[in-house]
Amino acid sequence: MKLLLALAALVALSAGSAIPLVPGDNSDYVEGESRYIWMPDGDGVPHLVDLQEPVDEALLNSRNGANNQYWLFTRQNPGKIIVHGNANTIWNSNYNANRQLKVVVHGWNSNGNSGINPLITSAFLAVVDANVIVVDWRALANSNNATATNGVPGVGQFLGNFLVRLINTAGGNWNNVHLVGFSLGAHIVGSAGRTAGGRPVRVTGLDPACPLWSGNGNALNANAGVYVECIHTDGGLLGIHSAIGNADFYPNGGNNPQPGCWISTCSHSRSYELFASSVRTNHMVGRQCGNWNKAVNNQCSGGQFCHANLQMGNSNLNKRGNGMFGLSTGNSWPF
């Protein structure tokens, strides 16, 4: 009997430390047990990540939220850098306090030019004359995943303080502020929203990162804003599967594979593609789910609830809702 238990433990240890060989394939990943996982960079290219890699404390101390860059995009200009604490950079930009303020934050191994940013920025500017600020936190995002993860709270705090300073200096209204973050960026906007006292009227988390975030008190939660929404597309692998916002959407069950995807990294990135499409078209309608199991099995009817249906995504600042919502999408743009 003891021999069988020892063999079982050895098999479990070997499975947990096994290196997945197919790029982007996380089908054998087990949360809390597996050591390795494939994660996409800003161009969607899979990179093998060692979740037990030590945090680079020296880099974390030298590259933090103070290195954030803030790029302002409006319909009048292709991008102006606003420097935290430098009011002249605000006056020399096209920031307009009367417009909505949209903030977009990328994930790991990415930068302000990565695909998520022009996709969502152009979608916002196509439907509303807004200030769109892209947060480039590449100085820390391009370190190993454990180091980037440990730096997320600080990056978010600097972003929150930047937004407070921006509105106090140049004007604006928290009821016009919408924060959007993908993967690690979702936890960054959570930290930023809480730093700003939960005043942003809307916060959207796009497949909030899961590895190293289980039980993490710094994760995105409903205290980040007046209305917090999450779109889950790779739940249990690269993305958190549990409901963590006011409203949580589970397109196609919220897990891998999403329609048209064959690897987990594609399903993870699908969250920001769905969101960008929803901003432009507002055609994705979630049906409320009776419980989480129905949500992840895409068995939500919505019929028995007072607020049975809720649009997923879009740019509406007055949007409100509570609960879990399921829906089906297509396999290619506009889904």
Distance in angstroms (rounded) separating the CA atoms of residues 258 and 255: 7
For the beta carbon of residue 275, count every other beta carbon within 10 angstroms. Answer: 27
Q: Which domains does the chain have, with CATH numbers?
A: 2-327 (3.40.50.1820)
Q: What is the pLDDT along the chain (335 residues), one digit of tens a residue?
A: 333 333 333 333 345 678 999 999 999 999 989 999 999 999 999 999 999 999 999 999 999 999 999 999 999 988 899 999 999 999 999 999 999 999 999 999 999 999 999 999 999 999 999 999 999 999 999 999 999 999 999 999 999 999 999 999 999 999 999 999 999 999 999 999 999 999 999 999 999 999 999 889 999 999 999 999 999 999 999 999 999 999 999 999 999 999 999 999 999 999 999 999 999 999 999 999 999 999 999 999 887 666 689 999 999 999 999 999 999 999 999 99
Q: 312 by DSSP, 3-state: which?
A: coil
**What is the pTM for the complete model shown?**
0.94
Distances (CA, A) of 180 to 109, 184, 305: 17, 11, 28
